[in-house]
Structure 1
């Protein structure tokens, strides 16, 4: 079975009707991976023995007809802690690390009956936009194997896009779910900050990180977010309010909705014409379906990239201090003193991009530079958040391109950090503001997927899903399948 042709609800129905057993489903997962992953490179660690045992147990107990995720496979980004399964953050410094506990999201998936297939590749410590910064392997885009799948959650996106699994989890600090979703033709959700517990997520930017799902369809995505959301006392930033059913009202359509179009996101001279045209066409379709289209302004978005990279790098500098060669992880063998343990272990264990961000963050926080850099970035962040809050007084959602280009060639930007950073220009304001955003496919350019992001008010993922579902039902972009062309 290839998962490119089945929704989660369809798979659930097959399991309940005994057209398929959980073991057969799991065996087909690993057959898919064996057939395609040598070319795609999505997985770092497989969990085959434990997964098949869990599938057998699910068959013996019987599939719960009221639990749509029971017995279904899921892949986990390798910066999310999994008890007894290697968790590397795609870094040499954690290459042999095996956690003794599950992240909250993993616990919740298990409670829902989902079965973890294995761990998925990423840019090291989630720092990058192409999955080329992994210390362990390069992941390729199933639509064109010569191109990147995006990052940092490139493995999570590639595995679903390739049909290896029906759903995966990623994390989004500055676009790391939405950009890979855009590059691989998937639905990818960055929930409101605090909606999903970060307990067990290896921290990069603690005030920015959020875990979210990759799926092929909008409703599948909402079903998974239902399970992983909720209050967690182990995460001090966890939202204390109620968690709605994100599928409720999903079929209501967009008639009467006010859709904002931020003019700063549509500078046609700075983007691929096909991307702007595809999103404009989507807006016309929304108009035909009864939505009101309103041009709006987010004037401080232009400060998003500098503010984001100062804040994210500063938080990374602080978070990554724990990897010191003393307690766990990689330790250099060529040491002669305590200082050598710290310096050489970190120098040898961290990759170039991680070291670059640690240096940038340490500098931004240092005495004499804090006010000039970090404090100003934090002030810019407040202005960006206020822009969103003011705009959402007049509109229900915002619609804009997810990225400034389609997937680029492997090696195309890796030696130009500034170009790689600027690729996040349309996604980082959302993280700085803490609002939710979903990327969905809205067209193609030279056979490569184009993504459109739908941005919502704080804790209003329901309206985002409703808006996305209406578009998905009126189009067929999500039904197209990758060609696996190109490559070496």
Structure 2
């Protein structure tokens, strides 16, 4: 961290002394004994995802950068002085809002880091940085304020290894006194080789993914029987904004909220019909490779392929599948509610070890 943070700017705050003291006290029999991790900045004190990682023996070394809260587009990181940089190319963004988490994992500083995802903030930085980001079914990981009214936000893990992400997610899952309505404890699933039926699309919003990105993700499915997804998908822009406002405790016009619920219901029904015929839906995680580290406001469409699954609550995981122009490309795998194991099984089949 001391060597790389001056270059990548992924640390929001450092607790080196606290980390060393915790490492001296750790019980070596715990499942994550001595594993260092970063906590996403501004995570509330006592968040179950943090307290459970600590209880499992993991060592928090500090907090990771995230986007400035007043920015319209959140696909960057900021430490108060400089932008967080992508380890693959210092001129590029690591994504966001869990920017520092993905940059630190990709740089090999920590194997896991915590994040949150209301529109792609686990999956987008994972895709930009060539690591794994997992948004479980809504309620998979308990939240400090309980389940939000609209349910957009999901806590989760970014990691270098799919297996590590799954293990850590299992350890932090299950109801908590702060979120008793969270889903039951999630045992580590046994990932299956299938055969899986897969649908693919490179468009769920205003634009199609960049042709090179779309082709690389489509090529990653060569071991599957693949069909093009036929979805009558409604744009989620206005619905997401209304639901986010509701989650923030803001007043939302009744007609606007009803329209948002209609969009969610329609898209959820479309996915239910699709999943009656296939096991998983695969898309590029992002429309393009990582944009410039200070060009987030010019890239408002970054979340086009992600945020619809926050609206519907489906599990989605992003894994690296290769490089375009020397930059990582992520594939997003989506599965039915509660079938996180299916999304992860397909992701394990297509995930690629990147060079370097």
Higher helix share: 1
Deviation at 1:315, TM superposition (A): 2.8
CA distance in 1, matches of 2:262, 2:47: 32
Tell me: CA distance 1:397–1:179, structure 2 relative to 1, closer, same or farther (3 Å): same
Which among 310, 322, 343 is matched to residue 464 of structure 1? 343
Tell me: CA distance 1:173–1:135, structure 2 relative to 1, closer, same or farther (3 Å): farther
Find out whether 1:259 has 2:198 as its counterpart: yes
Which among 141, 148, 151 is matched to residue 96 of structure 2? 151
Unaligned runs of 5+ in 1: 1-32, 83-101, 319-360, 482-488
Tell me: CA distance 1:380–1:134, structure 2 relative to 1, closer, same or farther (3 Å): farther
5 Å-filtered alignment, 1:260-279, equals 260-262=199-201, 264-265=203-204, 270-279=208-217
1:398-425 deviation per Cα after TM superposition (whole angstroms, max 9, x unaligned): 11110001111123242x4xx41x2211
CA distance in 2, matches of 1:211, 1:74: 15
Unaligned runs of 5+ in 2: none
> Segments of 4+ in structure 1 off by > 6 A?
none
5 Å-filtered alignment, 1:20-39, equals 33-39=1-7
1:35-73 deviation per Cα after TM superposition (whole angstroms, max 9, x unaligned): 010111111111111110111122xx5x22xx4421111
SS at structure 2 position matched to 1:169 = strand
CA distance in 1, matches of 2:213, 2:343: 20
Deviation at 1:236, TM superposition (A): 4.8
Q: Provide the aligned length of Structure 1 versus Structure 2.
A: 355
**Does the CA-based 8 Å contact 1:183-1:448 persist in structure 2?**
yes
**Does the CA-based 8 Å contact 2:94-2:293 persist in structure 1?**
no
Tell me: CA distance 1:122–1:274, structure 2 relative to 1, closer, same or farther (3 Å): same
Higher strand share: 2
CA distance in 2, matches of 1:156, 1:309: 25
**Does the CA-based 8 Å contact 1:126-1:153 persist in structure 2?**
no
5 Å-filtered alignment, 1:5-404, equals 33-58=1-26, 61=27, 63-64=28-29, 67-82=30-45, 102-125=46-69, 128-132=73-77, 137-199=82-144, 207-239=151-183, 241-246=184-189, 248=190, 250=191, 252-254=192-194, 256-262=195-201, 264-265=203-204, 270-284=208-222, 286-287=223-224, 292-300=225-233, 302-316=234-248, 318=249, 365=252, 370-404=253-287
CA distance in 2, matches of 1:225, 1:304: 27
Find out whether 1:425 has 2:304 as its counterpart: yes
CA distance in 2, matches of 1:216, 1:205: 32
TM-score, with length taken from structure 2? 0.92
Deviation at 1:34, TM superposition (A): 0.7
**Does the CA-based 8 Å contact 1:265-1:401 persist in structure 2?**
no
5 Å-filtered alignment, 1:398-413, equals 398-413=281-296
Larger Rg, first or second structure (1 or 2): 1
**Does the CA-based 8 Å contact 2:203-2:209 persist in structure 1?**
no
TM-score, with length taken from structure 1? 0.68
SS at structure 1 position matched to 2:4 = helix
SS at structure 1 position matched to 2:283 = strand
1:148-168 deviation per Cα after TM superposition (whole angstroms, max 9, x unaligned): 111111111111111111110
CA distance in 1, matches of 2:171, 2:4: 29
CA distance in 1, matches of 2:293, 2:63: 22
Structure 1 window deviating more from structure 2 (398-407 vs 230-239): it is 230-239
